[in-house]
């Protein structure tokens, strides 16, 4: 992401933060995103760089005032006023603010850490089960049916914010359900001012080991780290850490595989 894009994202995040922490706001922003997805001409007009920012924000108010809350319209208007790369970028920006509103709601309720962990665990569960992954991600099944499946799997077992976000992720804005859910986990960690580190080990770590590892990784990246632990018996030993696109390979199996590649290259 370019510096200009980061600046626009940060500016819109600040607007979203001022809008408050309300699950109702999240639902309204998701409804706006759905409306933009269904109406390409509308999202194109709201993001048209050939029109003054004032005209685009005015159109946002004209279209949505009285239909959703003032806070939701303000977020859309501010996003429309930014110089985004097009209608799809506007749609993604509103979707992001809907997710962040739900996460702020969870944060205010004191459940954000649980929601982050539950989303991660559910993503791993779906990813590891081909039948379940197809049932949730298969586009031949109506969206509402797949969302009902997700609610049935999580209802009573996870926080309500987790259920709502997992259901939303079924729409797969980031190409697949897995990718979309991973994006939600990253946003949850950012809301807690942490970086997500996916740690793969052969055997589970205890709380003290996780704390020490988190502290060590935090010193390395210069900010607190939220550890998501994956136990994989096929890992011979050591630890594999994924921090965004960076992978720190410390497993025996990983070193053996690296040696094999070097010998065959």
* Residues 104-143: tens digit of each pLDDT: 999 999 999 999 999 999 999 999 999 999 999 998 999 9
pLDDT of residue 64: 97
pLDDT bin (cut points 50, 70, 90) of residue 259 is low
Stated pTM of the model: 0.82
End-to-end CA distance of the chain: 33
pLDDT bin (cut points 50, 70, 90) of residue 15 is confident
As a whole number of angstroms, the distance between CA 233 and CA 185 comes to: 24
pLDDT of residue 240: 83
Question: Rg (Cα) of the chain, in Å, rounded?
Answer: 20
- Structure tokens belonging to residue 91: 């749609």
pLDDT of residue 122: 97
Residue 5 has pLDDT above 60, yes or no: yes
For 109: left if phi > 0, alpha if psi spans -120 to 50, otherwise beta; the answer is: alpha
For the chain, the DSSP string reads: --HHHHHHHHHHHHHHHHH---HHHHHHHHHHHHHHHH-HHHHHHHT-TTS-HHHHHHHHHHHHBTTB-HHHHHHHHHHHHS--SSHHHHHHHHHHHHHHHHHHHHHHTT-HHHHHHHHHHHHHHHHH-HHHHHHHH-TTS-HHHHHHHHHHHHTTTS-HHHHHHHHHHTT-TTSSHHHHHHHHHHHHHHHTT-EEEEEEESSPPPHHHHHHHHHHHHHHHTS-EEEEEEE-TT--SSEEEEETTEEEE--HHHHHHHHHHHHH-
pLDDT bin (cut points 50, 70, 90) of residue 185 is very high
Cα→Cα distances 111→18, 81, 157, 242, 243, Å = 20, 33, 14, 25, 23
Each residue of 67-98: pLDDT tens digit?
A: 999 999 999 999 999 988 899 999 999 999 99
pLDDT of residue 79: 95
Least confident of 41-55, 129-143, 192-206, 233-247: 233-247
Q: Residue range 227-243: average pLDDT?
A: 81
Q: What share of the chain in percent tops pLDDT 90? A: 59
Each residue of 146-164: pLDDT tens digit?
A: 999 999 999 999 999 999 9
As a whole number of angstroms, the distance between CA 55 and CA 58 comes to: 5
pLDDT of residue 42: 97
- For residue 249, the cross-strand partners are 240
CB atoms within 10 A of CB 265: 5
């Amino acid at each position: 992401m370019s510096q200009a894009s980061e600046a626009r994202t940060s500016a819109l995040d600040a607007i979203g933060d001022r809008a408050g922490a309300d699950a109702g706001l999240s639902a309204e922003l998701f409804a706006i995103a759905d409306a933009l997805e269904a109406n390409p001409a509308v999202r194109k007009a709201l993001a048209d760089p050939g029109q003054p920012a004032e005209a685009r924000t005015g159109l946002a108010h004209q279209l949505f005032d009285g239909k959703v809350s003032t806070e939701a319209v303000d977020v859309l208007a501010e996003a429309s006023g930014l110089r985004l790369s097009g209608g799809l970028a506007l749609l993604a920006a509103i979707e992001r603010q809907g997710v962040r509103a739900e996460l702020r709601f969870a944060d205010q309720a004191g459940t954000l850490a649980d929601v982050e962990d539950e989303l991660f665990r559910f993503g791993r569960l779906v990813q590891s089960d081909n039948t379940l992954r197809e049932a949730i991600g298969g586009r031949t099944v109506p969206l509402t049916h797949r969302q009902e499946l997700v609610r049935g799997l999580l209802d009573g077992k996870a926080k309500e914010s987790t259920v709502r976000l997992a259901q939303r992720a079924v729409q797969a804005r980031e190409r697949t359900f897995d990718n979309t859910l991973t994006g939600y986990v990253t946003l949850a960690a950012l809301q807690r001012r942490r970086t997500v580190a996916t740690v793969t080990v052969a055997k589970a770590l205890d709380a003290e080991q996780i704390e020490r590892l988190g502290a060590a990784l935090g010193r390395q990246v210069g900010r607190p780290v939220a550890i998501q632990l994956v136990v994989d018996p096929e890992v011979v030993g050591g630890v594999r850490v994924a921090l965004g696109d960076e992978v720190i390979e410390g497993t025996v199996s990983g070193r053996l595989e690296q040696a094999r590649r070097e010998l065959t290259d």
